[in-house]
Chains A and B, each alone.
Chain A
Amino acid sequence: MQLNRNSAPKIKTIKEIALPAINKSNLSNDIPVFTINVGTQEVVKIQLVFKAGIWFQSQALEAFFTGQMLEEGSTKYTAAEIAEKLDDYGAFVHKKINRDNACIDIFTLNKHLTSVLTIVADMVKNPKFGEAELNRLLEQEKQEFIVRKQKVTYIAQKQFSALLFGENHPYGSSAKLEDYESITPALLKEFHQKYYGSKNCRIFISGKVNESTLNLVNKYFGEDDWGSNTLVKTLPVNANSSTNLKHFIPKENVLQSAIRMGKRSIGRNHPDYFALSVVTTLFGGYFGSRLMSNIREDKGYTYGIYAGIYPQIQDSSFIISSEVGADVAQKALDEIRFELKRLRTESVKEEELSLVKNYISGTFLRTLNGPFALGEVIKSLYEHGLPEDFYQQYLNQIHNVSPEDIKGIANQYLQEDQMIELVVGKK
């Protein structure tokens, strides 16, 4: 039979998502635990999450260095011993200190779980905050910071957060070189005392999990209360977006300029979120998006350009970002505005719309792929206060979005003359 290469094989639209069962329980001291048992390898990831992110700090870098110092020595172990033992067990501990939370991720082979938890529990509950270790770490991080702040991308990212939320807002603030001078062991100790406690902790476990996993986690983190007894509350902070819409930070001798454009937006629990995510994906959320097709694939101004909603727990933003040839920065900005306007004024063709919906559905499957990715997903659902069937709802909703909805949503949320614009480099 002659093969017909001109027409695509039949495809199936993904309409259902099977999320493995999420098991919720409490440790003896009431720390909530969410487990998901998946995967074929004998490995497990345990995530301890504390409300101990930038949101809660009283001065810059406090949350970051408190988290980083956990591995630099505890009551029972020196920094060198912690490093040596974790390496010997082949375990990894990642400390992710973000704007909202501090998250300690532990990856280990199941056969070493007991040994690894013995060390990590002491690190988390009884860190030493030694002065010599802190000073060394400060020197290391300071140098990295000095290098980082040379990059147009880094400058743009920091400055744009400040423009969206105000530089005193936890989502808009960023560290300066002199802030490294005011970090002391006493300050970090106090922050740790206040925020790293059982009352302020949630645990997410994914991978090959069984009853003994839970028993061990209970033994090391659940038997008694530890840390502060006060419940941590997230206090609201007012965000102040810049009222001046156009910003330019000149930088000499650059070949490319960093571009950011965007505004504050709605989060994942807003009823319009699903439709808006279809619009932003179509606009700049995948390789074949309007922005990529125009600015990279047609004009060749950039290696990549992206747009999307960045949902954080307390607030969200819509951001377009790219690095473009310094001589075409203004042309790229004009094209971005042209594409934004087109969303509001031209009806999208059914074919492009269905492609985007299918693409998003496939992305969900990828997001839910593999034991560790699934752990991330349940953590994020819980932290954002979203229901377990969020992705199924999402999937159902996006398939109902019409070309008319796209125009309406774009008019409501993506007006090009309301966007804040920032260029770092040349214009």
Chain B
Amino acid sequence: MIDYKKFTLSNGLTLLVHKDDSTPIVAVNVLYKVGSRNETPDKTGFAHLFEHLMFGGSVNIPSFDQPLEKAGGENNAFTNSDITNYYITLPKENLETAFWLESDRMLNLGFSKKSMDVQRQVVIEEFKQSYLNQPYGDVWLLLKPLAYKHHPYRWNTIGKEIKHIEDAKMEDVKAFYKKYYNPNNAILVVAGNIEAEEILALTEKWFGEIPAGKKIHDVLVQEPEQTESRFQEVYRDVPVDSLYKAYHMAAHGTKDYYIADLLSDILSNGNSSRLYRKLIKDEGIFSELDAYITGDFDPGLFVFSGKPADGISLEEADKRLVEELELISNELIPSFELQKVKNKLEASHIFSETSVLNNAINLAIAESLGDANTVNLEKEIYAKISAEEIQQIAQEIFQPKNASTLYYRSNQEKNATK
């Protein structure tokens, strides 16, 4: 159970405070409701590039990191399709430093040319390091546009191509900031050994005077139902073939989303899960195989990724995987199997709650989806899911016409297995 208090400032900023007296550290999390889904197709990678620029100094504070480090703090951030999230952990005694820093970069960013030039280059290196210079690194650059033809999820958060990042201009960046980086588009969560009244006063002091921005009404193109199975194969300089399959599924927070989440656990969470036990351990069809959901705010993907064992072809492995998906669509799962994944899920939640930063981030994400209290209701939602509901969702998701399959073939296989 994560207790919290919620406040809304007159400029629209949402504040959540969670008290945890077991730690000397305070977590300060600021979530902006903007991600790569808010970008336009000709300027992708922007939300993430912008995340980098947020560390380039604000109008009153030339360096973001230095004063924080001096206060014994540390920070980082992540961007995904739906949100951009910044977080700080620091000793409770120096909490106000975080308010000073976060409020100033919400008030007005520095926009130095130097920061823009350098961060553009850093992001290009990140693009190379994570997506291009890794075996299988470009999988998501292929899989997303295969599964999505219309929705902005068809490009990756890092961007469609390096060129979009190279071409980013200062005026675009400023417009982006003006539109999305406003108190009414942000959620502040503070967690630690603190009192709500004290935090509310600090929030009023530092964030209260920041003017609200215009209300945002981005209309995102929704993905129409997929009507035919899709297939792509590529050859790459990797040692082993790899199989990817993506199926469309429900949006984060809906009932069907939770059922699909449980379904993915039945299939592949833990050493006793179906796919791991049958296809890896018993039959040796795959050497690794995972099933997971992307968890996007708009309808997301149910993904399988696996490497066939030595001597097994992609076609054979694919066929055997699909048979398992048919099985779970056609037969009710035994009650002990369902109870087992529920138990495991409940335990994972409790373990995750031991981290004050996790709690802060989870509250912020749930609030941005509509209600922070969802973090406390989820246990009940999962507990109620029945075997029949799982079967029904499996039938809906695992239809051949709903699948996008990628064969990622090795062009050096013969050498590597010798």
Q: Show the binding face of A for B, using Cβ within 8 Å.
A: 3, 5-6, 8-14, 18, 38-43, 71, 79-80, 82-84, 86-92, 107-109, 133, 136, 139-140, 142-144, 146-147, 150-152, 253-256, 286-288, 296-303, 323-325, 354-356, 358-359, 361-363, 365-366, 368-372
Contacts and interface: CB of A to CB of B under 8 A. Distances in A.
B118 interface: yes
Contact of A5 (B100, B344, B355): B100
Given A5-B59, A87-B272, 6 more contacts: A11-B70, A13-B72, A84-B340, A86-B270, A146-B240, A300-B122
A362 B91 contact: yes
B356 interface: yes
B272 A83 contact: yes
B25 interface: yes
Interface stretch (B7-15, B16-24, B139-147): B16-24
B313 to A, nearest CB: 15
Contacts of B209: 3
A143 B107 CA distance: 51
A303 B126 contact: yes
A243 B280 CA distance: 45
B350 A109 contact: yes
Contacts of A298: 118
B84 interface: no
B280 A140 contact: yes
Contact of B347 (A89, A151, A287, A302): A89
Interface string B308-328: 011000000000000000000
Contacts of B89: 366, 369
Contacts of B136: 147
Contacts of B71: 8, 11, 358, 362
B69 interface: yes
Interface string B104-131: 1001000000000111111011101110
Contact of B129 (A38, A140, A303, A371): A303
Interface stretch (B39-47, B60-68, B297-305, B386-394): B60-68
A143 B347 contact: no
Given A87-B272, A136-B284, A358-B72, A366 B125 contact: no
A86 B128 CA distance: 40
Interface string B149-175: 000000000000000000000000000
Given A143-B310, A288-B66, A300-B118, A5 B60 contact: yes
B125 A302 contact: yes
Nearest to B340: A88
Given A11-B71, A254-B133, A301 B61 contact: no
8 contacts: A8-B61, A40-B22, A90-B344, A143-B287, A299-B118, A303-B129, A361-B72, A365-B91
A369 B132 CA distance: 36
A346 to B, nearest CB: 19
B271 A151 contact: no
A288 B201 CA distance: 31
A324 B128 CA distance: 9
A325 B240 CA distance: 26
Contact of A370 (B60, B74, B354): B354
B48 to A, nearest CB: 12
Nearest to B60: A5
Contacts of B354: 39-41, 43, 370-372
